[in-house]
Structure 1
Amino acid sequence: MKIMEKVWGTLGIIEPVETEDDRLRQDEPESKTSKKNNLVNLTNSQKPIKVIVVEPYSFDDAQQIADHLKNRKPVVVNFENTDKDVAKRMVDFISGTTYALSGNIQKIGNNIFFCVPSNVDIAYTGRDDGADKSVLSWMNK
């Protein structure tokens, strides 16, 4: 039955004619005849974020870390095998890079830093041993 015929039939203009298809639809449950356009995709469509781990040996590696941050990838920097003077210069450079990109840098271990761009938040609850976090005490060891 066409829609206009239904409307005219309810207004009394014409007598509605019921077809066999209409009778079959009335016998079916409502879920079979309803539209199925309300599907929700429950899978995560975002790609997982890839974390880059870098163990720098010279100051030249600082540019590589900055490039990863510019490409919006988080970077873990492990300074355990880096000369202390070079590591200090690199932390200064990387700190400036993360600041310029509205990112964040967090010390997460002895000689290990986590640098993230602005699209990543760090939720780190490390042990507070009363040390001043503004001083890089690991450089003095």
Structure 2
Amino acid sequence: MKNIIYVLLLGLFIYSCGSSRNLRSERLANAKNDTVRIANDSLEYEIIIIEPGFNLFINSIAQPEGYYSQQYLESKNRQLVTEYNNRVRQPLRYNPNLYVNEINYEPRIDYGYEVNYLLYNYFVYFSRQYNQRFPVPTRI
């Protein structure tokens, strides 16, 4: 009887190891689907957000489009981009794995609502996901 229990436990262990590989491959597939790209060739700008979980955040947790005005989003984005870029320039003080590249956000350019909405929500997601505090309130 003990041998049967050991065989069953060994079988469950092997089965559970095999199923974790499937979960890992599903996560990698989901990460590929979590790439958000917005481009406007006439203004020559492009935003690419590659962040696992960001699409889920936008589609289920973030406030819907239209909740904030474009003016509000532009104002917040100016402040958040400035702070983010300052952190990129200080790799000894802030984690260089989180703050990799500067964001080129020109306040005089009208990027439109969608770009400002996604950029603002990326900062909200980033601050929640990596427990980062920005001096500007980024709560929804």
Whichever structure has more helix as a proportion of its residues is: 2
Which protein is richer in strand relative to its size? 1
Give the TM-score category using the shorter length.
Answer: under 0.3
From the CA coordinates, give the structure whose radius of gyration is larger: 1
User: Which of the pair has the greater relative contact order for Cα pairs under 8 Å at 6+ separation?
Assistant: 2
What is the TM-score of this pair, normalised by structure 1? 0.25
